Amino acid sequence: MANSPKKRLALDTNLVLDLAEGRDFARAFKEEFQARGYSLLVRPNVVVEMNLLATAGPAPQSKLANVALTS
């Protein structure tokens, strides 16, 4: 029997920030797709954007970006 391909889902910057903020819909999204067997990925460009927000972004986004980068 052939192995089925792994299911992967790349998260965008906004969803990563929503997860860092602890928003219920973002947690529900994460839990639902993980329960369905998806690996959730953060692409390098999202990490770069998070770093930019953490170092030079407006106060609320800067704090959330720091949380996301350290979680």
As for how many domains the chain has, the answer is 1
Residue 22 burial (10 A CB sphere; 0-12, 13-18, 19+): exposed
- The answer to whether residue 35 sits within a structural domain is yes
Q: Do the domain assignments include residue 45?
A: yes
Decide if 1 is inside a domain. no
Q: Is the dihedral of CA 13, 19, 23, 25 positive or negative?
A: positive
Q: Does some domain include residue 12? A: yes
The per-residue pLDDT for range 3-29, each reduced to its tens digit, is: 566 899 999 999 999 999 999 999 999
Give the range of the structural domain holding residue 46, as residue numbers without chain letter.
7-70
Tens-place pLDDT, residues 48-70: 999 999 999 999 999 999 999 99
Q: Has residue 2 been placed in a domain? A: no
